[in-house]
Amino acid sequence: MYYSRLKLASVLGVCLLGLLLCLPNGMRKPLPSIPWRQIHLGLDLRGGSYLLMQVDLQSLTHDRLQTLSENTRDALLNAHLGYQNIAVDAAKGTISFMPRSAAETEADIAALNALPRAVPNEFSVSKREDGSITLVLAPESIRTRAREAVTQSIEIVRRRIDGTGAVDPEITRQGDDRIVVELPGISDPERIKALLGTTAKMSFHLVDANPLHATYPPQGVSLLPMADPAEGGPLPVFDHVDVDGSDLTNAGAVIDQQSGKWAVSFSFDSIGTHAFAAVSQANVGKRFAIVLDNKIIEAPVIMSPITGGNGQITGGFDAQKATDLALMLRAGALPAPLSVIEQRSIGPSLGADSIRAGMISLGVGFIMVVAFMVLFYGRFGWYADFALLANLVLMVAILSLFEATLTLPGMAGMLLTLGMAVDANILINERIREEIARGRTPLAAMQTGFEKATSTIIDSNATALLAHVMLFVFGTGPVRGFALTITIGIVTTLFTTLLLSRMLMARWYARTRPTSLPV
C-alpha cells in the first residue's frame, strides 16, 4: 500500500496525458501547431456509402483464354505445326482447333502440354471424337485465379480511393469474388464508383491500314470503338499487344503546351521503354492506337522513333477526367472489371441519431454504475467511480492516439468495458470486507484484499484479452470495432483498478489513519 513519489507522479502523469489526448475530440479545429490526433467516426456514426462489388469472373476467364489462345498459336507455329478454326469459348472455358492433319495430333498435344501454367494443373489438353484438340481450363484454377484477382483488386482499389483523399475507408473481402467498400463521410459516391468501375487496362496496338478490314476484320484483328464517338467510327486494331500498360511507372495530369488543354503524361520502366522504342522505330508513318478498356483514346501517327520512354495522351479531357485517369494508371489496372451489385447510403442525420443514442446509453450506464458503487461501498465506491471515469478517458485517449475508427459496436464495447471494470473493483471491495470480518486491522485488510483479488482480476482479464484479440485478428467490420475497444478497455481497466484505485485508497489511509474502513 506504499506509494513513492515517483510512482505517484507516474500514475497521475498517465491520467493527465490521457486527458490531454482526449481534448481534440471535443474541439472543432485543434491548434495547428500541436500534432493532435482524433478518433474517426465509422460509417454507422458519421454516415457515408456502402458498396458491394463483384469481380467479373467471366471477363477474367475470357482474358486468360485469349492469352492462352495466342500462346497456342505461337507454340504450334514455332513447332512448325498447323491448325484450323481455332475457337475460344469463355462460357465453357475451352480453346479448340482442328489439327492440320491427323498425323500431327500427338505433336500438337505435346506442344500444348508444354505451355507454361499460371497455377498448377491449370488446364488439360485432350483429343475429341471429331478429331479436334481441346484445351480445358480446370474449374479449381478459375477459382484460384478469382481469389488472386480479389486480393490484387483490394490493393488497387485501396490505392485509387486513397488518391481521392477519402478518410479512413474500409475495404474488405467477402467470399471468393466480392469486395466490400465502406466510405465514411461520402454520401454521393458516384466519382468513387466511376473510379472503381473502370478497369484502366491500357495497351498500345498497331492499327491495321487495310481499308477492307475496317468492315470485315480478319482473325487477329478487332474493331474497337473510339472513346469519343465524335472522332469517328471503330478502327481495325491488331490484337497483339505491342506495349503493355502494366509497364507504366508514373502518370500525371498536365496542360498540353500546344493545345492548352488537359492531357495525361506517362512514363515507362525499362521494359516498356525498350518495347515502345522498338515498335516506334519499326513502324514510322503508321497509326498507333492507345487503348483503354477496349476503347481507343487516340490513334496518332508515329512521326519518328520514341526512345525516351515518355508519352502524352490528349483525349479531350477536363481537369477532373485527366486527374482520375492519371490516378487509375498510377494505381494499376484491375485484373478484371468490378461491378456494383449493392449500394447503400447512410445520411449524416442517421449517423447523428446513432451517436446520440450511443452517448445516452453510455451516460445512463455510467450514472447507474456510479450510483450502485456509492450505494454499496461508500467512500471506496467513490474511488472506484473516479477510477472508472479515468478508465473511460484513457480508452478514448488510446483510440485518439492511434486515430482509430469508432463504430456503434465499438461504443457498445466501451459500455461493456465499464461493467467489466466495475467487476474488478467489486472483487477488491468484497475481499476487503471479508478480511475485516475476520478481525484484521484496516491496513492489513486493505493489503490482503488487494493481494488476493489481484491474481483473480489478472487471470479473468487475461483470458478475455486473448479472446478479443482473436476476434480482432480474424473478425471483420463491426466485430473488429467491438473487439478493439474491449481489448483497449481491458488494458486500461488493469491500470485504473490495480494502480489508480489502490493509490487513492492508500493516500486516503495515509492522511486519515482511520480505525475502521468505510466499506
Q: Which residue has the higher pLDDT, 195 or 301?
A: 301
Give how far Cα 454 sits from Cα of 52, 435, 502, Å.
Answer: 47, 15, 11
Candidates 416, 455, 447, 419; CA nearest to 510 is 447
Q: What is the pLDDT of residues 262-275, one digit of tens each?
A: 888 888 888 888 88
Residue 199, pLDDT above cutoff 80: no
The predicted pLDDT at position 349 comes to 60
Distance, CA of 393 to CA of 15 (rounded, Å) = 8
Q: Per-residue pLDDT averaged across 496-515, rounded?
A: 87
Distance, CA of 273 to CA of 282 (rounded, Å) = 14
Candidates 373, 475, 368, 469; CA nearest to 425 is 373
Residue 397, pLDDT above cutoff 80: yes
Q: What is the pLDDT of residues 325-354, one digit of tens each?
A: 787 777 777 777 888 888 877 766 666 777
Residue 206: beta bridge partners?
Answer: 288
Q: At 257, is the secondary structure helix, strand, or coil? A: coil
Model confidence at 495, pLDDT cuts 50, 70, 90, reads: very high
Go through the chain and tell me how many residues it has. 519
Distance, CA of 390 to CA of 396 (rounded, Å) = 10
H or E stretch covering 108: helix 105-113
Candidates 152, 159, 177, 192; CA nearest to 51 is 192
Q: Which residue has the higher pLDDT, 430 or 349?
A: 430
Residue 296 contacts residue 221 (beta carbons within 8 Å) = no
Residue ranges of alpha helices (H) inside 118-234 are: 139-163, 190-197
pLDDT more than 90, % of the chain:
6
Model confidence at 373, pLDDT cuts 50, 70, 90, reads: confident
- Ranked by mean pLDDT, the top range of 197-201, 298-302, 454-458 is 454-458
The predicted pLDDT at position 492 comes to 93
- What own/partner pairs with CB < 8 Å and gap ≥ 24 does 83-89 have? 83/108, 88/62, 89/65
Distance, CA of 433 to CA of 437 (rounded, Å) = 6
Model confidence at 421, pLDDT cuts 50, 70, 90, reads: confident
> Domains of the chain by range and CATH?
5-44+349-512 (1.20.1640.10), 58-140 (3.30.1360), 200-333 (3.30.1360.200)
- What own/partner pairs with CB < 8 Å and gap ≥ 24 does 72-79 have? 72/97, 72/112, 72/115, 72/135, 75/111, 75/112, 75/114, 75/115, 76/108, 76/111, 79/107, 79/111
Residue 76, pLDDT above cutoff 90: no
Distance, CA of 446 to CA of 429 (rounded, Å) = 9
Q: At 165, is the secondary structure helix, strand, or coil? A: coil
Model confidence at 150, pLDDT cuts 50, 70, 90, reads: confident
The predicted pLDDT at position 131 comes to 85
Q: What is the pLDDT of residues 279-317, one digit of tens each?
A: 888 888 888 888 888 888 888 888 888 788 887 777 677
Model confidence at 201, pLDDT cuts 50, 70, 90, reads: confident
Order of strands across the sheet that contains 133-137: 83-89, 94-99, 133-137, 123-127
The predicted pLDDT at position 126 comes to 86
Q: What is the pLDDT of residues 10-61, one digit of tens each?
A: 999 999 999 888 888 877 655 555 557 788 777 777 777 888 888 888 888 8
Model confidence at 254, pLDDT cuts 50, 70, 90, reads: confident
Give how far Cα 298 sits from Cα of 242, 259, 494, Å.
Answer: 16, 15, 65
The predicted pLDDT at position 236 comes to 92
Q: What is the pLDDT of residues 215-251, one digit of tens each?
A: 888 878 889 998 878 778 889 999 888 888 777 788 8
Q: What share of the chain is helix, strand, coil (3-state, %, to 5)?
A: 55, 20, 25
Distance, CA of 142 to CA of 135 (rounded, Å) = 14
Distance, CA of 287 to CA of 298 (rounded, Å) = 10
Residue 90 contacts residue 336 (beta carbons within 8 Å) = no
* φ/ψ (deg, to 5) at 169: -70, 150
Is the overall model pTM greater than 0.85, yes or no? no
Distance, CA of 390 to CA of 381 (rounded, Å) = 14
Q: How far is CA 408 from the centre of its chain?
A: 20
Q: What is the pLDDT of residues 164-174, one digit of tens each?
A: 777 778 888 88
H or E stretch covering 67: helix 57-78
pLDDT more than 70, % of the chain:
96
Any idea which of 79-83, 115-119, 425-429, 451-455 has the lowest mean pLDDT?
Answer: 115-119
Distance, CA of 250 to CA of 267 (rounded, Å) = 6
The predicted pLDDT at position 114 comes to 86
- The beta strand positions in 239-388, using DSSP E, are 243-244, 248-255, 262-268, 288-292, 295-298, 310-317, 338-346
Any idea which of 102-106, 129-133, 243-247, 386-390 has the lowest mean pLDDT?
Answer: 243-247
H or E stretch covering 46: helix 43-46
Q: Which residue has the higher pLDDT, 287 or 478?
A: 287
Averaged pLDDT score across all residues of the chain: 83
Residue 341 contacts residue 52 (beta carbons within 8 Å) = yes
Cell numbers that stand for 518 in this block: 468505510
Candidates 36, 225, 59, 71; CA nearest to 145 is 59
Residue 426 contacts residue 502 (beta carbons within 8 Å) = no
Distance, CA of 194 to CA of 508 (rounded, Å) = 65
The half-sphere exposure of 316 on its side-chain side, counting CA atoms within 13 A, is 9
Q: What is the 3-state secondary structure (H, E, C) of 193-214?
A: HHHHHCCCCEEEEEECCCHHHH
Distance, CA of 194 to CA of 178 (rounded, Å) = 17
The predicted pLDDT at position 491 comes to 92
Q: Per-residue pLDDT averaged across 201-206, rounded?
A: 85
Candidates 114, 132, 126; CA nearest to 71 is 114
